[in-house]
């Protein structure tokens, strides 16, 4: 039963979280309030680990959240729910990928969703910041990190490793 | 993931031309779901129809599922370790910086014109002050965009 709920919730996220994996964060934060499967704190940790691991962040995160809710198979079910809507839509429009008419229809719908998705990612950042930024040390580190990320074009894994080292050194 | 797809399927296997790859990527961006995954689904479809689309998608997600499940099960034993806790506190802050960076990078391509800025601002305000559900945000903004494009741009 819980697997069915997980599947349906992730199906909904797969349909509505348009863009990248980070857009799923506010949806997952909402799930944490709706069901008591995990806390916002757990979610912050899952996001961090999903960013460090290879593969698409959204898929990693869905696997991890599913695992946390009810074990390994639920992780698989969450991913299936997440990917099914786009699979269906792509197969449905596949007869003519490049038809102006159908592309135009999707374009019209997504025109307003793109700025909303950007707002959802910003809100996701806000949700995570409220959990991770708890004192002056973490606030200062957050600001420095932001400028480092903007200036140095390192791979995310390098930044994450740096975060881990700073966390241990400063006993955050 | 795009550079990987490019080297594998354009350069090595020659299933696609450079232009087709860019077209695929462009359509993947205007289709619901995760962009990298959609690109893989399109590619699979082009090569082997519906079966190809399904298998390409499963191929892309399987390593993630296996790796994440392993990491999750191993990490469970370490969550109470002092060092792991500090490390995650640091990583958590860094993730905030990375997320904010992606908002900045998305600003130009995603938040276009006054309508884009208005949708962005109102969505964020609704989320932060009323705790509006993301579901409602996405549905509402897609309708606003649709009506705007239909009425004013055509």
pLDDT band (50, 70, 90) for residue A128 = very high
Cβ contact A112:B144 at 8 Å: yes
Cα separation, A77 vs B135, in Å, equals 21
A29-49 mean pLDDT = 92
Residue A73 has pLDDT above 90, yes or no: yes
Instruction: Report residue B24 as tokens.
Output: 């695929």
pLDDT of res. A72: 92
pLDDT of residue A96: 67
pLDDT at B42: 84
Percent of residues, chain A, with pLDDT higher than 70: 95
Distance CA A29, CA A41 (A): 10
Determine what percent of chain B is predicted with pLDDT higher than 70.
95
User: Cβ separation of B123 and A116 shorter than 8 Å?
Assistant: yes
CA–CA gap between residue A86 and residue B85 (Å, rounded): 37
In three-state secondary structure terms, B34 is strand
**Chain A residues touching B154 at Cβ < 8 A:** none
Rounded to an integer, what distance in angstroms lies between the CA atom of residue A116 and that of residue B139?
10
Tokens of B114: 């006054």
- CA separation for the pair B105, B99 (Å, rounded): 10
Residue with the bigger pLDDT between A127 and B22: it is A127
Query: What value does the mean pLDDT of chain B take?
Result: 87
Q: What are phi and psi of A99, to 5 degrees?
A: -65, 130
pLDDT at B14 over 80: yes
Residue of B nearest to A112 (CA): B145
Q: What is the pLDDT of residues B84-125, one digit of tens each?
A: 889 989 999 999 999 999 899 889 888 989 999 999 999 999
Take residue A82 and report the two structure tokens written for it: 């997440």
**Residue A108's closest chain B neighbor by CA?**
B146
pLDDT above 80 (res B32): no
Cβ–Cβ gap A76/B65 under 8 Å: yes
Q: Is B144 on the interface with A (CB under 8 A)?
A: yes
C-alpha dihedral, B138 to B140 to B145 to B148, nearest 10°: 180
The reply to whether residue B71 touches residue A49, judged by beta carbons under 8 angstroms, is yes
Which residues of B82-149 form beta strands (DSSP E)? Answer: none
Q: pLDDT for A78-117, tens place per residue?
A: 999 999 998 998 888 776 666 666 667 777 888 888 899 9
CA angle B111, B115, B116 (to 5 degrees): 10
The ipTM estimated for the assembled molecules is 0.88
Is the Cβ pair A20, B67 closer than 8 Å? no
Q: Would you say B98 and A159 are in contact if contact means Cβ atoms under 8 Å apart? A: yes
Query: Quick check: helix, strand or coil at residue A172?
Result: coil
Least Cα distance to A126 among B91, B129, B33 occurs for B129
A153-157, B21-25, B47-51, B134-138 — which is least confidently predicted? B21-25
Our CA dihedral for A42, B137, B37, A84, rounded to 10 degrees, sits at 90
pLDDT at A29 over 90: yes
Instruction: Give the minimum alpha-carbon distance from A7 to chain B in angstroms, rounded to a whole number.
Output: 15
Give the nearest chain B residue to A167 (CA atoms).
B90
Q: Is residue B141's pLDDT more than 90? A: yes
Burial string for A63-83 (b: 16+ CB within 10 Å, else e) reads bbbbbbbbebebbbbbbbbbb
A-contacting residues of B 49-78, CB under 8 Å?
A: 50, 53-54, 57, 60-61, 63-65, 67-69, 71-73, 75
Closest by CA to B41, choosing from B51, A54, B19, B4, is B51
- Inter-chain touch A16–B138, beta carbons under 8 Å: yes
């Amino acid at each position: 039963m819980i697997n069915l709920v997980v599947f349906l919730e992730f199906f909904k996220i797969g349909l509505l979280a348009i863009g990248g994996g980070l857009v799923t964060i506010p949806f997952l934060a909402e799930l944490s309030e709706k069901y008591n499967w995990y806390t916002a704190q757990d979610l912050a940790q899952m996001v961090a680990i999903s960013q460090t691991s290879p593969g698409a962040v959204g898929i990693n995160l869905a696997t991890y959240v599913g695992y946390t809710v009810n074990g390994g198979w639920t992780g698989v079910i969450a991913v299936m729910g997440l990917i099914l809507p786009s699979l269906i839509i792509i197969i449905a429009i596949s007869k003519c990928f490049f038809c102006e008419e159908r592309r135009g229809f999707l374009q019209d719908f997504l025109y307003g969703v793109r700025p909303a998705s950007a707002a959802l990612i910003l809100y996701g950042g806000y949700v995570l910041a409220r959990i991770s930024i708890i004192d002056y040390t973490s606030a200062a580190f957050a600001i420095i990190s932001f400028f480092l990320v903007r200036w140095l074009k390192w791979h995310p894994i390098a930044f994450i490793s740096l975060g881990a080292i700073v966390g241990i050194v400063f006993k955050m | 993931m795009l550079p990987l797809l490019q080297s594998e399927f354009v350069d090595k296997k020659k299933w696609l031309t450079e232009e087709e790859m860019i077209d695929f990527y462009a359509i993947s961006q205007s289709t619901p779901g995760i962009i990298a995954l959609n690109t893989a689904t399109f590619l699979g479809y082009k090569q082997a129809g519906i079966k190809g689309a399904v298998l390409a998608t499963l191929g892309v997600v399987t390593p993630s599922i296996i790796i994440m499940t392993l990491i999750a099960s191993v990490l469970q034993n370490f969550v109470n370790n002092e060092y792991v806790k500090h490390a995650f506190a640091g990583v958590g802050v860094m993730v905030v910086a990375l997320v904010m960076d992606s908002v900045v990078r998305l600003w130009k391509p995603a938040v276009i014109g006054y309508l884009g800025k208005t949708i962005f601002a109102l969505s964020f305000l609704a989320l932060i002050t009323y705790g509006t559900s993301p579901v409602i945000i996405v549905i509402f903004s897609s309708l606003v965009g649709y009506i705007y494009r239909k009425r004013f741009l055509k």
